[in-house]
Structure formats: structure tokens, C-alpha cells
Amino acid sequence: MSSPAMCLARARRSLVAAKRASSGSAPWNQPRVAAARRSPAARPHGASCAAVPRSDGAGLTPPAAETSSCFACPICAGAMIRRASSSSTGGGALACALGHSFDVAKDGHVNLMVGRGSRATGDTAEMLAARRRFLNAGHYTDASNVANALIARALDDFLTRDTGQGEDDREDSKTMAIQGDDVAITPRRRRIAANKRRSRAARPAPAAPPPPLVVDFGCGEGWWLSRAIDAATEAADAGIAPGKMKNKKIVFAALDASPAAARLAARILPPDVAEVAVADATGAATPLPLADASVSVALSVFAPRRPSELWRVLRPSGVVVVVSPGDDHLAELRERGTREALGVLDVAGNKRGAVAEAFVSVGFVAEAEERVAGSTALSLANLRDVVGMGPSAFHGTEESAAALEAFFEARAIAGEYGERRVRVTKSFVVQCFRKPLER
């Protein structure tokens, strides 16, 4: 079994056991707010959630399996635990210490949309189905690989720092350098070295840092995060970062405003490794359901975002990986006349510049930028999906469908196996921004 998955095997077993043993039939998409006895403001942020008062008598039954959730309560911002349900139909619940409780759907996702955020609209089931077909066909795999390499590098940095391995490496290399330079090991040097070793051994063991958390903000149907999880697992297994990523726990989470998207994502993301929630993933209407400085790596693919909220939830030295369309992405579909007929929205020019400006203005440091450009050959079905998966003015109208077919007939050429395809430009900009350790 892969290393991150192996580390989380215990969580998976308890989750599976919890799913098998569960009860409760309240609607999963409605937050059950049980007796918030104190003002949310009076509660210290991030306090322990070991004992959650329940008003439904569930506390009388033997304690169900509980695991900590990476999500914060969207009402009081407190830490939450995931409790297995005692029913065979439910997926349990997430609850904070104040008793705010959110049912987990059977597929594993949880709806954390509250207040003004619940008015946020997301992608429809048809758009998501088109997107999944198109992405699974592999047209955007190269962009995903570039984003995943940046994610893996950031995770490697965190795991090295969190395990203190980097510090020990530096100490050891210092000692080796002294020996290598053939410096005389005097009794005094030996005493100093021994004292250093003793004080290192006497240091109280620091509390284990939480595992790195990777969150996809606006995950859609989950393809990008699913590939990021696979890539992190493969990097560990292949020993690309030996001793660092191997056998280390990494936690993943996905947020999307669309309940249909969260359902689809929850079905393809491994439940032992990733948590999925319906929430305003921009944090514009309501704060993101994540604690301050809790996220190591944020992923934002073709999604609206709010850099100031990402700044709040990112750990110091955490990174945001942003994937946006390049100026000439799908240029053939955006030519004058074609764009209007197909109902395809135009890409705002110089998107990469606007993204960089938005991040740098709140304090992020631009760390990497890669352009992924090329072309891909699309069948008529692929074309229907690529137009249907995005926001479009004339979704599904007869006129736009006919225009798309005419576009295909006019440009398609037979490929190697005789199937006719249209070649279109693809272009992505993958940017990486870091929250510095100190401002």
C-alpha cells in the first residue's frame, strides 16, 4: 500500500467501521444547531472538542469512533470532530464543542454552507458531468502534472521541517565539515560537542505538529485533487524525497459551493485521506471553514478566489498553487463570430498578471510561474464537453449545438485511426505564491 495511505489506514478502518454501524435520518444538508449555551465569541478558538454535548440522547450509547476533522465550525470557528453515526443510512456528523453539528452524507461529504454563503451558486450536475468526461479523457493532464510537482515540493519542505530532520542534517553536516577540514579535535571541542548532544537529548519532546493539509478550493468534481493525491503517493513510493515524504501522513480536503460537485468529488476521493465539504470556497460571503494558519498547500484551479482569506488559513511558509487559463486557451473556440455562436465566454486578458497582483498585494511572494502550452485533438463529443463544462451564455440551446457541429464539420480532419478531430490550442499558467514566515 502507498505510504500516505498506509499512514491513514487506521482512520480508514474506523471510518469504514463507522459507516457500517451507523443510524440517524435527519436531512444531511441541514446543520443541526444543538444548544449553543455560550456566545460563540466567548469560546476560545480551536479548543478541544473531546466532549460534545448532545441533546438527542446519543451520548447515552457507547461512544462511536471519533476522529478530528480538518474543518472548522462555520458558525463559531471552533475545531470539529467527526463522529460515526449509529445508523446504517447516515455517514455520521461533524460537531464542534459548542454543539453545532453537521450531518455527513453517506458518500462522505458534509454541507458546511451557512448564512449568506448558502446563496452562493455552483456548477450544475450537467456541467460537472461534462467536465469529468473531458478531464478523464486526459486533455489537461500536463497542466495537472505541473501543479502536482509544485504541491509535492511544498509538502516535502513541510515534512522536512516538521520532523526536524533538516535541523539534525545541518548539525551533522557541521560536525562532518569540522572533521573533513582536519581540525584538531581538542578536549574542549569534545566537551562542547558532548554538551550539545546532552542538551539536545534533554530537550522536552515538542508536540507533534499536525500533518500537512492540502486543500482544493473550488474542487469541482474532484479530478485535480484526485490526481494530486495520486502524485503525492507516487512521489513517496518512488523515493523521490527519500526519508521525507515516505511514511508521513498528509491530509487532503476539498471545498466547493456546488452540492453536486461535492457529491461527485466525495465519490472519487479516498475517504481515508480526503474530507469534502460544500462551502463558499472563495470565503467571500462567509469565512472559509478552516482555522487560521491550518493549511500547508492551497490549490485553486480555474476557480474564483480571495487571496486575503487564503492568507488567513495558510500556515507561515504555506503555498498557494493557482492554475488559470492562458490568454490563448482554446483560442479556436474564441475567434470572433465562433465565440458568440457557441456561447463560449471570453478569457480575460493577462489573467496571470491580475492573479499575481492580487496575491502580492496581500503579502504573498511570487515563487514560481510555469506556462503549459500545446494543442489537443478533440472529437465532436469532446467539443460538446469542453463547451458544456464551463460557464456559457447559451448552454444547451439548439442554435449553439448546431453551431458547434458546423464548427466541427468545417475544421475536423481524420487522424491516425480515421476518427475526425479538431485540433485546438490549450494554454495554462501555473503560479505558486508563498506566505513568508515573517512579513
Q: Of 75 and 215, which CB lies nearer to Zn ion in the complex structure?
A: 75
Q: Of 102 and 408, which CB lies nearer to Zn ion in the complex structure?
A: 102
CB atoms closer than 10 angstroms to residue 128? 22
First vs last Cα of the chain: how many Å apart? 41
Q: How far is the CB of 139 from Zn ion (least distance, A)?
A: 42
The binding site for Zn ion (CB under 5 A) comprises 73, 75-76, 78, 96, 98, 100
Q: How far is the CB of 38 from Zn ion (least distance, A)?
A: 11
Can you tell me which residue has the cell 472538542? 49
Cell numbers standing for residue 245: 515524504
For the chain, how many helices (H) and strands (E)? 13, 14
Q: Of 30 and 247, which CB lies nearer to Zn ion in the complex structure?
A: 30
Q: How far is CA 174 from CA 159, 168, 193, in A?
A: 22, 10, 11
CB atoms closer than 10 angstroms to residue 370? 15
Q: How far is the CB of 96 from Zn ion (least distance, A)?
A: 3
Task: Compute the distance between CA of residue 102 and CA of residue 118 in angstroms, rounded to an integer.
Answer: 14
Q: Of 78 and 212, which CB lies nearer to Zn ion in the complex structure?
A: 78
87: left (phi over 0), alpha (psi -120 to 50) or beta: beta
Task: Compute the distance between CA of residue 375 and CA of residue 417 in angstroms, rounded to an integer.
Answer: 18
Q: How far is the CB of 98 from Zn ion (least distance, A)?
A: 4
Q: Of 73 and 432, which CB lies nearer to Zn ion in the complex structure?
A: 73
Pairing of strands 314-325, 420-434: antiparallel
Task: Compute the distance between CA of residue 79 and CA of residue 69 in angstroms, rounded to an integer.
Answer: 8
CB atoms closer than 10 angstroms to residue 120? 19
Sorted by sequence, the CB contacts under 8 Å of residue 192 that are 6+ apart come out as none
Q: Of 99 and 108, which CB lies nearer to Zn ion in the complex structure?
A: 99
Q: How far is the CB of 40 from Zn ion (least distance, A)?
A: 6
Q: Of 113 and 229, which CB lies nearer to Zn ion in the complex structure?
A: 113
Secondary-structure percent of the chain, ordered helix, strand, coil, rounded to 5: 40, 20, 40
Q: How far is the CB of 95 from Zn ion (least distance, A)?
A: 8
Q: How far is the CB of 75 from Zn ion (least distance, A)?
A: 5
Q: How far is the CB of 280 from Zn ion (least distance, A)?
A: 17
Handedness of CA 24, 25, 29, 34 (dihedral sign): negative
Q: Of 59 and 353, which CB lies nearer to Zn ion in the complex structure?
A: 59
Q: How far is the CB of 37 from Zn ion (least distance, A)?
A: 12
Q: How far is the CB of 433 from Zn ion (least distance, A)?
A: 30
Task: Give which of 220, 368, 246, 218 is closest to 306, Cα–Cα.
Answer: 218
SS3 of 141, please? Answer: helix
Q: Of 78 and 90, which CB lies nearer to Zn ion in the complex structure?
A: 78
Task: Compute the distance between CA of residue 80 and CA of residue 94 in angstroms, rounded to an integer.
Answer: 6
Q: Of 95 and 219, which CB lies nearer to Zn ion in the complex structure?
A: 95
Q: How far is CA 322 from CA 143, 302, 372, 380, in A?
A: 11, 8, 13, 29
